[in-house]
Amino acid sequence: MKKDLHPSNYRLVVFKDMSNDYAFLTRSCVETRETIKWEDGNEYPLYKLEISHTSHPYYTGKMKLVDTAGRIDKFRNRYAKKK
């Protein structure tokens, strides 16, 4: 196995689904700028998710349109430049 292949900066991080305010705490090395106070009273880095297993149509069985941060507009702008 290669040496120094995996990141060494793992720490506890809160991931929060912004569509339904579901949050969970897990170990990760994702870079974040925000923090949040967790249920145990400690402050942890916060990573915001657009969708998680609690809001994804596959897991919930409900179809809903998710257009956070203008995803359609971003797509149109990206491909409009190529014309």
What's the domain range around 62? 11-80
State the virtual CA torsion across 54, 58, 63, 68 in degrees, nearest 10: 60
Q: Is residue 4 part of a domain?
A: no
Q: Is the pTM of this model over 0.85?
A: no
Q: Is residue 3 part of a domain?
A: no
pLDDT digits 0-9 by tens, 31-78: 999 999 999 999 999 999 877 777 766 666 666 655 556 667 777 777
Q: Is residue 64 part of a domain?
A: yes
Position 44 scores a pLDDT of 96
Task: Report which of residues 49 and 1 the model is more confident about.
Answer: 49
Position 19 scores a pLDDT of 80
Q: Is residue 5 part of a domain?
A: no
User: Looking at the 3D structure of the chain, how many domains does it have?
Assistant: 1
Position 83 scores a pLDDT of 57
Q: Is residue 6 part of a domain?
A: no
Position 47 scores a pLDDT of 92
Report CA-CA distances (Å) from 45 to 39, 49, 69.
13, 13, 22
Position 9 scores a pLDDT of 84
